[in-house]
Amino acid sequence: MSLSIDDVNRIAHLARIRVSGDEAVQYQGQLNGIFDLIAQMQAVDTAGVAPMAHARDLFQRLRADVVTEPNRREAFQSVAPQVADGLYLVPKVIE
């Protein structure tokens, strides 16, 4: 399989990473090299094998429904790029 420039641009946009025309060409070559490495997987017959999403087959532990977290807005917003009146600011969101 082989990624086209359109594929590269599509995934770059999905991942919200700006890619210039030259970079897209470079990524195309590198990503195709990596996909060649990955391609050997496809030859393996995995019919009936249960996918393994976690390192251990265990079940989720549940937390008691209790409020434990204090307000730490000041500390958290001290590292924020842009805030006003306790809100994080971003360019206008258009719906």
Partner 1 sequence: MQWETVIGLEVHTQLTTQSKIFSGASTAFGAEPNTQACQVDIALPGVLPVLNKGAVERAIRFGLAIGARLNRINVFDRKNYFYPDLPKGYQISQFTLPIVEGGALTIQVGDEEKTVRITRAHLEEDAGKSLHEDFHGLTGIDLNRAGTPLLEIVSEPDMRSAKEAVAYAKALHTLVTWIGTCDGNLQEGSFRCDANVSVRRPGGPLGTRREIKNLNSFRFLEQAIDYEIRWQIGEIEDGRAIQQATVLFDPDSGETRMMRTKEDAHDYRYFPDPDLLPVKLEEDWIERVRASLPELPQARQTRYRTEFGLSAYDAATLTSSRTLSDYFETVTAALPKADAKLAANWVMGELSAALNRAEIDIATSPIGANRLARLLGRLQDGTLSGKLAKQVFEAMWTEGGEPDAIIEAQGLKQMSDSGEVERIIDTVLAANQKSVEEFRAGKDKAFNALVGQVMKATKGKANPAQVNDLLRAKLAG
Partner 2 sequence: MQTIKSIATLLAEGKISSVELCQDYLARIAAHNPNLNAFVTVDAERTLAEARAADARRAAGQANLLTGVPIAHKDIFCAEGWLTTCGSKMLANFVSPYDAHVISQFKAAGMPTLGKTNMDEFAMGSSTETSYYGPTKNPWDVARVPGGSSGGSAAAVAARIAPAATGTDTGGSIRQPAALCGITGLKPTYGVVSRYGMIAFASSLDQGGPMATTAEDCALLLNVMAGFDARDSTSLERNQEDYARDLNKPLTGLRIGLPKEFFGAGLTGDTATAVQAAIEQFSKLGATTVEVSLPNSGLSVAAYYVIAPAEASSNLSRFDGVRYGYRTPDYADLTDMYEKSRAEGFGAEVKRRIMIGTYVLSHGYYDAYYLQAQKLRRLIANDFAQAYQQCDVILGPTAPTTAFKLGEKADDPVEMYLSDIYTIAVNLAGLPGMSLPCGFDRQGLPIGLQLIGDYFAEVRMLNVAHQYQLVTDWHQRTPGGF
For residue 67, the partner it binds in partner 1, partner 2, none, with Cβ less than 5 to 8 A by kind, is: partner 1
Distance of alpha carbon 7 from alpha carbon 13, whole angstroms: 10
Q: Is 48 exposed, middle or buried (0-12, 13-18, 19+ CB in 10 A)?
A: exposed
Element (H, E) at 1: none
9 binds partner 1 (CB under 8 A): no
Minimum Å distance from CB 41 to partner 2? 5
9 binds partner 2 (CB under 8 A): no
Q: From residue 14 to residue 53, what is the string marking binding to partner 2 with x (rule CB under 8 A)?
A: xxxxxx-------x--xx-xxxxxxxxxx-x-x--xxxxx
CA atoms within 13 A on the CB side of 47: 1
Comparing C-alpha atoms, which of 14, 15, 17, 19 is closest to residue 5? 19
With contacts defined by CB under 8 A, how many residues of the chain interact with partner 1?
33
Closer residue to partner 1 in complex, CB, 43/66: 66
What residues make contact with partner 1 under the rule CB under 8 A? 14, 16, 53-54, 58-69, 71-73, 76-77, 82, 84-93, 95
